[in-house]
Structure 1
């Protein structure tokens, strides 16, 4: 891919663009950029989990529960999240912002703009180059899987979920007392 990626100031917690670089340069030098993630909720409360293809440039073959990707130069994070949701799952849905936070490891360094969306029943169209398979999973089951560090799950989403209080609770469903 040769798209131009927006670079972000890593000292800015909300996202100030400082320049651009090619996607290849961002990956090679682990430059600070922005990326989006969308947690898709089924009306019954389950969340969409998928396995990334083995050809992905970052975390190939790992599981994830966010659809998303890099914010290109000239895009807002919300626009990029809509674009990624359309590309990866074939959906155009309303997005609710839930978290903005920096993430960094040896492979990626980005400001995460995390959203959630509610599935409207439109058939999913998985992008063959990015999504190997997808399924709906109960949030409590996913929480147990995330506690298992041997389960291949993308590390950035795993960490971002830690910082999203009560992500497993569907905001559209009332919480009942035990």
Structure 2
């Protein structure tokens, strides 16, 4: 089993603990945290996602974040 996340309902109430890949595969709601990094001039950081990750490997992204682990 991979990374565990809390599956939530539409009101963000925890309804179970599931594997993150399973949550993504089934389209189940689960918590994530993201942020946008900007410098004093307002420029947004754009980074390239690692090649070894399961979601959009090698793509450019302007969000920094990830899944929220169980109990986090």
> What secondary structure does 1:36 align onto?
strand
Per the alignment, residue 18 of structure 1 pairs with: 15
The answer for unaligned runs of 5 or more in structure 2 is none
Does residue 51 of the first structure (1) align with residue 48 of the second (2)?
yes
Q: TM-score, normalised by structure 2?
A: 0.81
Aligned residues: CA RMSD: 1.7
Structure that is richer in helix per residue:
1
Give how far 1:68 is off.
0.5
Give how far 1:35 is off.
1.0
Aligned counterpart in structure 1 of residue 35 of structure 2, from 13, 33, 38: 38
The CA distance in 2 between the partners of 1:7 and 1:60, in whole Å, is: 24
> What secondary structure does 1:69 align onto?
strand
Q: How many residues align?
A: 72
Moved over 4 A (4+): none
Does residue 65 of the first structure (1) align with residue 28 of the second (2)?
no
The CA distance in 1 between the partners of 2:59 and 2:3, in whole Å, is: 24
Larger radius of gyration: 1
Q: Deviations over 1:61-116 (max 9, x none)?
A: 211111101111101xxxxxxxxxxxxxxxxxxxxxxxxxxxxxxxxxxxxxxxxx
Q: Deviations over 1:112-159 (max 9, x none)?
A: xxxxxxxxxxxxxxxxxxxxxxxxxxxxxxxxxxxxxxxxxxxxxxxx
